[in-house]
């Protein structure tokens, strides 16, 4: 397995992992147990996303798209149609909606 992405924190690593899983790439996160060693401070540079060697190139393309960089080569047919959302955008929208709903429920419960 290769390290496809070094995340700023556990949350970002899980977002990347979810994006890769949604695109058919098996991914695993590591380093999140190291956060407990530094208490309530946010862990930095511990979280990593691993993928199988065979999926590394495709994973890096998706990650570059996530980071806003153009991929080296366009192998996604969805990107040619401007009217459809890519799986990456759908994943991000879903995560943002889930966080907003959770915050609203928490705020109402207080």
Residue spans of the domains in the chain: they are 2-109
E-assigned strand segments in the chain? 2-6, 27-30, 48-51
pTM, rounded to two decimals: 0.55
| pLDDT, averaged in runs of 10, over the chain (110 residues) | 86 90 92 61 71 92 84 46 63 87 87
Contact status, residue 23 vs residue 4, Cβ threshold 8 Å: no
In this predicted structure, what is the pLDDT of residue 67? Answer: 83
In this predicted structure, what is the pLDDT of residue 52? Answer: 92
From its phi and psi, is residue 68 left (phi > 0), alpha (psi between -120 and 50) or beta? left
In this predicted structure, what is the pLDDT of residue 50? Answer: 92
- Phi then psi for residue 23, to 5 deg, are -100, 15
């Amino acid at each position: 397995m290769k390290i496809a992405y070094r995340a700023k924190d556990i949350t970002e690593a899980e977002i990347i992992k979810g994006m890769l899983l949604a695109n058919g790439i098996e991914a695993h996160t590591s380093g999140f147990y190291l956060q407990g060693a530094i208490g309530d401070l946010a862990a930095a540079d511990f979280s990593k996303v691993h993928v199988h060697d065979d999926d590394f190139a495709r994973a890096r393309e998706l990650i570059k798209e996530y980071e806003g960089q153009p991929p080296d080569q366009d192998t996604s047919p969805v990107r040619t149609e401007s009217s459809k959302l890519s799986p990456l955008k759908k994943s991000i929208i879903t995560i943002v909606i889930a966080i907003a709903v959770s915050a609203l429920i928490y705020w109402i419960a207080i």
